[in-house]
Chains A and B, each alone.
Chain A
Amino acid sequence: MGRGGCFADCYDAAMLGAITLLLVFQLIGEALVLLVGLPVPGAVVGMGFLFVALVLRGEAPAWLRNTCQELLSHLSLLFVPAGVGVMLHFKRLGAEWLPIAVALVASTVITIAVAALVMKWLRR
């Protein structure tokens, strides 16, 4: 049930199905986290379950791949509302701007460097 040779409503139904599937997996994850008291967000458990389901099934169907690709290609948009929350913390950021700024910039550069060098070294 791919995109090619398919009417518009067929593709829409595929997208609807994929979004429903993602929500069902998230819901299972959230429920399990509450039930067992896991220290992990429900969506992460949902991701784990979907991953296992795909491994067991042996392939990721095209309709699921298309929707996930679409959703993930707009990933940076999804961070905007949380980013605007910066306005709630102007006071703290004003008081602690130096440690926060240095920690963020230095730690980000160091992390990129360490991860890249370790991976390059272990790949030899």
Chain B
Amino acid sequence: MSGKFTEIWVYLSATPLLGLTVTLLAYQAAFWLYRKAGMHPLANPVAISVSVLVALLWFTDTPYATYFEGAQFVHFLLGPATVALAVPLYANLDTLKKNLLPLGGALLAGSLTAAVSAVGIGWLLGASRETLLSLAPKSVTTPIAMGVAEKLGGLPSLTAVLVVSTGILGAVLARGTLNLLRIDDHAVRGFAVGVAAHGIGTARAFQVSETMGAFAGLAMGLNGLATAFLFPLLAGVLRGA
């Protein structure tokens, strides 16, 4: 009986089907828990599903590469999802035109603050050069951040982890931070979360309100564009230093 089970396991664990299925199952279980917890920011579904999957792979002694053969189909959708950001961006065209100065100012300030503060704090506390370069683009959505990290000379796979961690932290810490600053305009709240915590922050914002989500999506898209174009230019300056 257990011999047969091992045989089936060996076969299935080598096909992409298993990695893909456990990813979807883990996420939906995590999302169910998140709903049960009244969408409390601490019950973040990405954090829960990543922990569950890492534990599962650890206990079954499955290498990440084997898991990723299946999970890549989910990961691949980040590309079309990035293109799809054009739609909420277009839906907010009027807001964008009317608020060019506040949105542009907040975008530039937020984008630079994210990179400079992360790299600065990491450097002060003695992080290695590779870690610092991987930290710089941590506030933009994964495919953009990984591309930028590669151009800068960081480790794209480490950047992916730092990006996801940042997103989770942003989704968890935004409410407290913004309440402390007494900012109650949902447009401002959403934009700040989108600049700091990309897609995971945006997903969280959409669960709070439509306005907050739209502004977060707008900020995520604009920050992605700004970072993709500005950082490789800054990279030259960084390398010179």
Find out whether the CB atom of B113 lies under 8 angstroms from the CB atom of A114.
yes
Q: Which 8 residue pairs across A and B have the least CB separation, nearest first?
A: A115-B110, A99-B125, A119-B106, A81-B71, A39-B232, A50-B86, A122-B102, A116-B192
Find out whether the CB atom of B166 lies under 8 angstroms from the CB atom of A26.
no
Contact of B122 among A54, A55, A100 (CB under 8 A): A100
Find out whether the CB atom of B195 lies under 8 angstroms from the CB atom of A115.
yes
Please indicate the chain B residues that have their CB under 8 angstroms from the CB of A41 in the complex.
Answer: 82, 143-144, 146-147, 228
Please indicate the chain B residues that have their CB under 8 angstroms from the CB of A19 in the complex.
Answer: 80
In the assembled complex, B238 has its CB within 8 A of some CB on chain A? no
- Which residues 79-109 of A sit at the B interface, judged by CB distance below 8 A? 79-89, 92-93, 96, 98-100, 102-109
Find out whether the CB atom of B80 lies under 8 angstroms from the CB atom of A26.
yes
- Which residues 55-96 of A sit at the B interface, judged by CB distance below 8 A? 55, 60, 64-65, 67-69, 71-73, 75-89, 92-93, 96
Interface hub of A26, A40, A79 (most chain B Cβ within 10 A): A79
Chain A interface SS verdict (over half):
helix
Interface hub of A72, A110, A113, A116 (most chain B Cβ within 10 A): A116
> Please, how many residues of chain B have a CB less than 8 angstroms from a CB on the other chain?
108
Closest to B107 in A: A115
Chain B interface SS verdict (over half):
helix
Chain A interface size band reads 35 or more
Find out whether the CB atom of A60 lies under 8 angstroms from the CB atom of B57.
no
Taken residue by residue from 43 to 54, chain A's Cβ proximity to chain B (1 for < 8 Å, 0 otherwise) reads as: 110111011001
Give A110 to B166 CA distance when docked, in angstroms.
12
Please indicate the chain A residues that have their CB under 8 angstroms from the CB of B68 in the complex.
Answer: 81, 84-85
Please, could you name 25 A-B residue pairs with CB atoms under 8 Å apart, sorted by A? A44-B225, A47-B85, A54-B86, A68-B87, A75-B81, A75-B200, A76-B199, A77-B24, A78-B199, A80-B46, A82-B160, A82-B163, A83-B161, A85-B64, A92-B128, A96-B127, A108-B139, A111-B139, A111-B196, A112-B197, A113-B177, A115-B109, A115-B110, A122-B102, A123-B102
